[in-house]
Amino acid sequence: MIDRYTLPEMGAIWSEESKYRAWLKVEIAASRALSELGLIPKKAFKVIEKKADFDVKQIERIEAKTNHDVIAFLTSVAKFIGEESKYVHFGMTSNDMLDTAQSLRVKDASALIDKKVVRVLSLIKSLAKKHKMTPTIGRTHGVFAEPTSLGLKFAVWYTELKRCRERFNNAANEMAVGMISGAVGNFANLDPIVEKKVCRELKLKPAEVSTQIIQRDRHAAYLSSIALLGSSLEKFATEIRNLQRTEIGEMQEGFAKGQKGSSAMPHKKNPITAERVAGLARVLRGNALAGMENVALWHERDITHSSVERVILPDSCVLIDYMLYKFIGLMENLVINKKRMKENIYMTGGLVFSQRLLLKLAEPAGSREKAYEMVQDNAMKAHNGEGIFIDLVKADKRVTSFLSDAEIDDCFRLDYYLRNVDKLFKRVF
């Protein structure tokens, strides 16, 4: 991933240094387990534990010749250890180390991601409670529908993000597995106890069964959970982008002193953070698809997944980490224009209260259909600029034969639409 979207802590997890450090951690844990079982000399393990190290530049030079990164790594480690290096990687295959080490890095990355998700949840919850009784217009098909609570909009985001977090953590837990099972996963040259000991030391669970690799449905689920998390962030960001449109003006990204919105137009304040979040979510969905393509491998293993994962796993972790970071800033500095929200509710002269009037009319009019016709006739006149909706209704003798002016006024009360918000909030918070 390019530096622009890489935060230092997450970037460090996916660095070459970190990769080889995780590889070495697995190899040392395996050597320890083998020595405890008497399969390699204890003295040899002491030397391995003390001297084991690597040189990244040296690994790169060796790999250029061998065209095998694991052999290059082990060769570099051997140069540090000396003769006892013959007991390193004893009975193991490359992916015993690679997949187990990858699980360690994913586990670390997942902890960073979850920490930011928790922060976003906290910010959305605060906004929901603060604006529980703030009226705003609800829209369906992009068109004014009925008044609702702004807090309820945030409550919807909150519950969706909670589901995303649960889904992500479940997938992360499925990824927290290791394997030390040998060339085709049958433990021919290793005792399963070695795997158990290694995983216990590394705080991973042993895979129930493996081939030469940990099965990639786990990775596909993990990448999909990240993509879904990104898609929800995109949904929230898209709502902010829409509400920032000049003709709506109900929300706006914070605009810092000295910030510029356009190289050509000095007046511009653009929703650039929300747009960035929305755009990067597309990359995550593409990576998730690539993860699914990695599930079907030949027999006990091929390496068609390997090159793909070198890109999609770190990139997805780096991107969702960055997107959450930017979204935190967006929520912390979100500008909410309550005055504009109320103005928009009344922009259409009360048309948005039509259902309440319909319900009030249905019983005295004798049928819902008859009531609907009366209300719609006046609504269409108002749409066509022939008058203000409430005035047209009060001038319609068909309506006033059933309802008094006071009863009609009661249908246009804004507080009616917030009367059950408290009940809804008790279900969420």
CA–CA dist 1, 321 (Å, integer): 12
Element containing residue 19 per DSSP (H, E)? helix 16-36
Neighbours of 384 (CB within 10 A): 8
Supply angle C-alpha 99, 103, 104, rounded to 5. 120
Q: How far apart are CA 327 and CA 333, in angstroms?
A: 10
Distance CA 348, CA 139 (A): 13
Catalytic residue among 15, 126, 262, 404: 262
Q: Has 305 been annotated as catalytic?
A: no
How big is the chain, counted in residues? 429
Q: Are 315 and 108 in contact (CB under 8 A)?
A: no
**Catalytic residue, candidates 141, 267, 299, 307:** 141
Is residue 367 within 8 Å of residue 160, measured between CB atoms?
no
The two three-digit tokens of residue 369, written as one number:
């259909």
Paired strand residues for 177: 205
Determine how β-strand 177-178 pairs with β-strand 205-206.
parallel
The encoded tokens of residue 338 equal: 């309550």
Residue 285's nearest CA partner among 310, 315, 257 is 315
Pairing of strands 135-140, 251-252: unpaired
Three-state SS for 201? helix
Task: Please say if 383 is a catalytic residue.
Answer: no
- Report the C-alpha gap between 251 and 243 in whole angstroms: 5
Strand duo 205-206 + 143-149: pairing: unpaired
Tokens standing for residue 37? 């079982």
Burial letters 385-394, b for 16+ CB under 10 A, else e: eeeebbebbb
Task: Judge contact between 31 and 23, C-beta under 8 A.
Answer: no
Q: How far apart are CA 230 and CA 3, in angstroms?
A: 19
DSSP for 114-137, please give it.
HHHHHHHHHHHHHHHHHTTT-EEE
Alpha carbon 188 to its chain centroid, in Å, reads: 41
The three-state secondary structure class of 266 is: coil
Q: Which residues are catalytic?
A: 141, 262
